[in-house]
Amino acid sequence: MASKANVALCISQIFMTLRIVNGAYTSLYMIKVTDQISIPNEELSFTASLSSGPGGQNVNKVSSRVTLWFDVANSPSLSQEQKELVMRRLANRIGKDGILRVISQQTRSQAANRELAVERFVELMWEAVRRVPIRKKTRVSRAAKLRRLEEKKQRSMLKSVRSKRVLSDD
């Protein structure tokens, strides 16, 4: 079972690769979700809007709320099986057009909200594509059942002894 610490290790793993386009090197930032899944920054789009959160006098002037958009249905970074998992497990965050939406408005800074949105996106994707281990059915052993019944009998006897009152003939 994965813990929050494992998720935190995956969250901030953004790495850069170089790609040759028309004879020139261009950088491509990749967001690592798992060891097998890395999503190029180009597949994410961001929009900024007015936040309803903290901001004082800036709240009505500065667009600090950030919305991250990711097209799950048309992403070349995900296999068909992974797309189906994400679509099923994150159905409440994905629109009819197959686009995942993650909103962040926790801070007053647009840059900080953008980072938080990316971190939340990685967490959501990690949770959506991870394999849940199948539970093995187990049985209570016969000896454990007998021990439990014996303890119940002893407790019952103790209570019955306490509650019996000797009636005297006066």
Q: What CATH number did the domain enclosing 63 receive?
A: 3.30.160.20
pLDDT-derived band at 96 (thresholds 50, 70, 90) equals confident
Could you tell me if residue 98 is inside a domain? Answer: yes
Which phi and psi angles does 23 have, rounded to 5°? 80, 0
Could you tell me if residue 137 is inside a domain? Answer: no
Cβ-based neighbours of 29, under 8 Å, separated by 6 or more: 14, 15, 16, 40, 41
Rounded distance, CA 86 to CA 37, Å? 13
For 50, the domain range is 4-129
User: Into how many domains does the chain fold?
Assistant: 1
pLDDT digits (tens, 9 = 90+) for 16-75: 444 455 555 444 577 777 777 878 778 888 888 877 755 566 666 777 788 888 888 888
Could you tell me if residue 125 is inside a domain? Answer: yes
Could you tell me if residue 87 is inside a domain? Answer: yes
Could you tell me if residue 103 is inside a domain? Answer: yes
Could you tell me if residue 136 is inside a domain? Answer: no
pLDDT digits (tens, 9 = 90+) for 111-170: 888 888 888 888 888 888 888 889 999 999 999 999 999 999 999 999 988 887 666 665
Residue 108 above 60 pLDDT?
yes
Q: Is the pTM value of this prediction over 0.85? A: no
Residue 163's region, left for phi above 0, alpha for psi from -120 to 50, else beta, is alpha
Q: Is 162 exposed, middle or buried (0-12, 13-18, 19+ CB in 10 A)?
A: exposed
DSSP 35: S
Could you tell me if residue 148 is inside a domain? Answer: no
Could you tell me if residue 20 is inside a domain? Answer: yes
